Amino acid sequence: MLAISAVDDYKYACETASFLHPIFLDPARGDEHRKMARLVLVAVLVVLGSVACQASGYGYTYPNPTPIITGTPQPSPSPPPPATPPPSPTPTPEYPTPTSSAPATSPSVSPPTSSTPPPPSTLPPSPTATPVYPTPTPTTPAPPPASTPAPPPPATGLEVGYYDDKCPDAENIVLDAVRNTTAGVKAGLIRLFFHDCFVRGCDASVLLNKIAGKPEPEKLGIPNLSLRGFEVIDAAKKKLEEKCPGVVSCADIVAFAGRDASKLLSTYKINFNMPAGRYDGFVSLKDETLANLPPPFANLDTLTQMFANKTLSQTDMVVLSGAHSIGRSHCSSFSNRLQPSANDNSNTSMDATFAGKLTQDCTAGSDPMVPQDYKTVDMLDSQYYRNVIDRKVLFTSDAALMTSLQTKSLVQEYTKWLIGDLKWYKHFGDAMVKMGNIEVKDSTKGEIRKMCGLVN
């Protein structure tokens, strides 16, 4: 209303000036009239013109008057209303609080709205462009998914990769020595590892040569007279001494050679890491061999007890017996089975056709050698367990695996196509590692030999 009144007054002043203009220019009027007209014009312009000009906006602005809230509050002109209509007003709290639920539209953009307008005595805060998001509650990060759990480290203190920082090529040097041998020698290296560990532990005592004036060593014991692979161990030791003198024990070379022979004869279906850190023993006695090495004519109870004496289970015994799928045997080791008697249990007697073939092969010379597995002669595989079920195995100790429900069940498990094969490959590697922990010597009870056939 003030602006409209000022404009009308301005128009009136202008009209008055226009009306008086002819009087200023009329010469016929007297000086008195001119003076009076000038005074009137000046008075009108001074009083009305200045007010009209200020109200029209020249030079200054005035804040809009603050409305007095009576009854229902009117929305404040600033800030602009949110994109969505605010909820109905509630009794005015001391401070505005954000709504507890998210807005209906664009919850990630629209800031929380106030339930009531700000107090009229203060200007409302300016809206911010960036919405304030609730601070997420910190949580403890979940641990990464565990991979397949690794077997616990051997209690003997052995470790995989023992020579990585002591003699980095140690295991490769042994592997090269084993690779350059025949299948028969590779099979002999697995047997050499077994015979070493079962007498005085895995300490390379089986490698020691006879010395005048000393007791006869293990390698002259009856069970060890047919051992093979000594030259492979010596060749690997010679190269290791050239590269890392006094570092790699002969006991570890025997363990690595048994592992590598298993890999190569199974075309790497058997593949496992062999912990190392063994020391070489000082003592080797021929007289200890028969009492510790299971004979080929042993029954199940004898086998189970002899393995238990070496901290190996009956399952370990069944698994390690699978090594009889490779290698050869003298006919004298099983000749008692070639003529089955009427009293033989059907599960343990030899298949008649198979016995007939062996009889022919064994008469070809003086105690000749024949393959232990006629079907896969040069392969380390689970065919052995099929031969056990078919009664086409050489030793009494092989046939004994069918004389208990527990061992028979394992034999049948390992004959299952593919699944049984894979299971046995894995179990064989595990059992070899377990066998490699038998009575391990440390630095207080052993040494690192310079030559595997002699103590230092």
248 is in an annotated binding site: no
CA distances 419 to 385, 416, 425, 426, Å, are: 14, 6, 10, 11
Burial 49-86 (b: 16+ CB within 10 A, else e): bebbeebeeeeeeeeeeeeeeeeeeeeeeeeeeeeeee
295 is in an annotated binding site: no
Given the residues 21, 195, 330, 427, select the one marked as catalytic: 195
Nearest to 275, CA basis, from 447, 166, 435, 149: 435
d(CA 350, CA 359): 12
381 is in an annotated binding site: yes
33 is in an annotated binding site: no
Q: Is 33 a catalytic residue?
A: no
Written as six digits, the tokens of 105 are 């539209």
Residue with tokens 């007697």: 349
205 is in an annotated binding site: yes
d(CA 403, CA 227): 29
356 is in an annotated binding site: no
Written as six digits, the tokens of 39 are 């005074």
Burial 187-198 (b: 16+ CB within 10 A, else e): bbbbbbbbbbbb
Phi-psi bin for 69: left (phi > 0), alpha (psi -120 to 50), beta?
A: beta
280 is in an annotated binding site: no
203 is in an annotated binding site: yes
Q: Which residues contact 319 (CB under 8 A, 6 or more apart)?
A: 410, 424, 427, 428, 430, 431
Alpha-helical runs (H) found in 414-448: 419-435
324 is in an annotated binding site: yes
d(CA 51, CA 368): 137
Nearest to 454, CA basis, from 199, 210, 246: 210
* Residues making up the binding site: 196, 199, 201, 203, 205, 218, 294, 324, 373, 376, 381
* Residues making up the binding site for heme b: 324
* Residues making up the binding site for Ca(2+): 196, 199, 201, 203, 205, 218, 373, 376, 381
* Residues making up the binding site for substrate: 294
Residues belonging to the active site:
195
